[in-house]
Amino acid sequence: MQVASPLPQRQPSSLAFPKLAMLMEERTLVGAHVLTGMLALLLGSLMGPFQTFRRSPFVKEAFPDLQIPFFSFYYQALTIHGVMNALFFTTFFIVGFTYFITQRSLERPLWNRTLAWVSYAMMFVGLALVLFAIGSGQASVLYTFYPSLVAHPTFYIGLVLLVVGSWLVGANVFMTYAAWRKEHPGERVPLAVFAAIANFIMWIVATFGVAVEVLFMLLPLSLGWLKTTDPQMGRVLFWFFGHPLVYFWLIPAYISWYTMLPKQVGSKLFSDGLARVAFLMLVIFSVPVGVHHLFSDPGVSSVMKGIHTVFTFVVAVPSFLTAFNIGATLERAGRQRGARRALDWLWHQDFGNPVVAAQLAGMILFIAGGFSGIIQASLTLNIALHNTSWVPGHFHMTLAGAVTLTYIGIAYWIVPLIRNRALWSKKVALAQIYTWLVGMLIFGHGMGAAGIAGVPRRTDLSNAPYVNPDAAFFLNTSAISGVILLISLVLLLVNLVGTLFFSKEPVTEGAPVDTVGPAGSPLWLERWGLWVGIILVLAAVAWLPVVADALGTFASPGYTPFVPNPLK
């Protein structure tokens, strides 16, 4: 099939996409985003296993001179790990995936391809600037970049370019939808695009907080235009953005579970309407929940902590709706594969298909990560666990578990479409998925149990004079998980390189994309102006009192991690 040809001269609404390949314009744009994201994942993830080795008492005693590759400074490697995985891998991959499903589902090109490439260029330059700042040792501020720590200005400029570039992506998706809606009055938009629109609405609202923090606090401080900063206000603005960021990662995984997995397992989604309600609840209630990251902080009133506790429990509801909806869908698939008894549909799934196995493994990790998150919504338990290794244990079960494994599952069918060649090895892919599942289960349990024993997070334990003996076993199991995850990472790299450069077989599985929405889904769910209004009202109720409490409470000079004296 000849696919490397210009877009056909047709009306936008009649654009035809090949089933087993991509148009050249689609391939370059989607491929650039997805592959850049995967490179960021490989770079960031490589730092992870070596951090588990450095925190292990056994490894420290057996190999006292062991260093993290490329970086001698623990917090520099930790910053690369967090920033590459949490900010750049996710954003590039989400944008590429969103472009793909928007064009395919609506059967039309993007509203403005030039704008799409401009946004990619901005994000890529942002990536280069951030890598320079961290790689040169001038931005070891972790992925939360809390003030009073100060990074090189290129670190903040890079983040600004990433965020503004993503806003342009959102504008392009909204305008593409608007053009489709004008030509399709009364029709339901396909569920995947419905969720993508919801995701970028939430993203644009949430990134307002971090944009204010970077542009008016951190960047002027790093340039020397300001002499002091407010650490508490910085933390408030970051977490206005920080918790919705989790759902920005999660919603594309849900898109795959809701709209693609049913086709991949030979079933049908149990309820499209219930799925749309779940997406809207995620968008509406994800913004007013971030204060549970500040429960240990002194500058937030108990009233606001209580309000955010309630909202945090509410935002768990759409995940339970998802569990019911996807569970019912998988049960139908299991019955079709021969399940007869009450629960044997659980193991009558296509665990030998890497695309399916990656998503199912991600769901297993999400169950553990989700419940550990609900535990942290409790004020008293949160205060006891927040600054311990329990939090990275939870965080890795969700982001590095459910989200990353689902994205890898998507990569196992979208990279072959980009390359126009079949996946290099399904066996290697399955080995990668199951080693990732086992490694992340051991890691999450080890870090969680160590946290209960009082092990702090964000701490270079190799330099600590004392480690609780009760925690040593769990830190050592985390190091074992690091070995397993390093093997999984190598398998992922081998399969991606093999698919891009050595695969010879043609693609045999098409993109699992719906092009129509079911007529039975309520059309009023697409009243986007109403939902945006509700989000803004809830955000004001939940955050304005917190911002007011934080105003003018602290004034601190800036510091770098290497110098104990304040910056002048």
Active site residues: 243, 247, 394-396, 457-458
Cα torsion 62, 63, 64, 65 to 10°: value is 170
Compute the CA torsion angle 84, 88, 90, 96 (nearest 10 deg). Answer: -140
The residues with which 229 forms a beta bridge, in sequence order, are 556
Element holding 380 (H helix, E strand): helix 379-385
Q: What number of other Cβ atoms are within 10 A of residue 193's Cβ?
A: 26
Residue type at 269?
Answer: L
- Between the alpha carbon of residue 199 and those of residues 66, 142, 297, 407, the distances in Å are 42, 25, 29, 16
Which residue, 565, 566, 543, 564, is CA-closest to 556?
566
Q: Count, in order, helices (H) and strands (E) of the chain.
A: 20, 0
Q: Which residues pair with 388 in a beta bridge?
A: 456
What DSSP line would sit under 60-109, residue for residue?
HHH-TT---TT-SSHHHHHHHHHIIIIIIIHHHHHHHHHHHHHHHHHTS-
- Number of other residues whose CB lies within 10 A of the CB of residue 344: 13
Contact 189, 526 (CB under 8 A): yes
CA-closest candidate to residue 403, choices 362, 355, 444, 370: 362
Q: Would you say 372 and 397 are in contact if contact means Cβ atoms under 8 Å apart? A: yes
Cβ pair 359, 261 in contact under 8 A: yes
Residue pair 180/13 in contact by the 8 Å Cβ criterion: yes
